[in-house]
Amino acid sequence: MIIELDDTNYDAIVAQGAVLIDFWAPWCGPCKILSPSIEEIAKEMESVTIGKVNVDDYPELAGKHGVMSIPTLKFYKDGLEVDSSVGVISKNVIQKKLELLLV
């Protein structure tokens, strides 16, 4: 399941466990390329919480978290950002990063 994030729920969602946040926008071509991988991972890795932030709707939230380009993925473990990536990366790379959060 993918959770739509905003100013009211972001901090609570990233606070516990392994979390992947996708900062994206509907007009972003690379975001559209990355989206199917994120959706597959959400179905395959149920122990990971996955959220999406539409930067058009929540530009302050993106700015607060240092997002300068999209797509940006942020990886959290128990509330701490432990990794991030900018641009399209493979599903396999995303899964490997998430597996490290689960140990």
- Which residue in the list 31, 34, 42, 55 is annotated as catalytic? 31
- Which residue in the list 28, 45, 48, 61 is annotated as catalytic? 28
63 belongs to the catalytic site: no
31 belongs to the catalytic site: yes
For the chain, give percent helix, strand, coil, nearest 5: 35, 30, 35
Instruction: Report angle CA 38, 43, 45 to the nearest 5 degrees.
Output: 85
Active-site amino acid positions: 28, 31
